Homo-oligomer: A and B are copies of this chain.
Amino acid sequence: MIRNEVFSCFVFYGVLLVVKMYVIAIITGQVRLRRKAFANPEDALRHGGLQYHREDPYVERCRRAHLNDLENILPFLFLGVIYSLTGPTLSVARFHFLVFFLGRVLHSAAYLLAFRAPTRSLAYVLAQLPCVSMALQILMVVSSYA
Contacts and interface: CB of A to CB of B under 8 A. Distances in A.
Contacts of A77: 78
Nearest to A115: B42
A135 to B, nearest CB: 5
In terms of DSSP, what is the predominant structure of the interface of chain A? helix
Interface residues of A, number: 61
Interface string A79-98: 10110011100000000000
Contacts of A144: 8
A143 B12 contact: yes
Contact of A40 (B11, B64, B85, B145): B64
Interface of A: 1-2, 5, 8-9, 11-16, 18-19, 21-22, 25, 29, 39-43, 45-47, 61, 64, 66-67, 70-71, 74-75, 77-79, 81-82, 85-87, 111, 114-118, 120-121, 128, 131-132, 135, 138-139, 141-146
Shortest 3 CB-CB distances between A and B: which pairs?
A8-B145, A46-B117, A8-B142
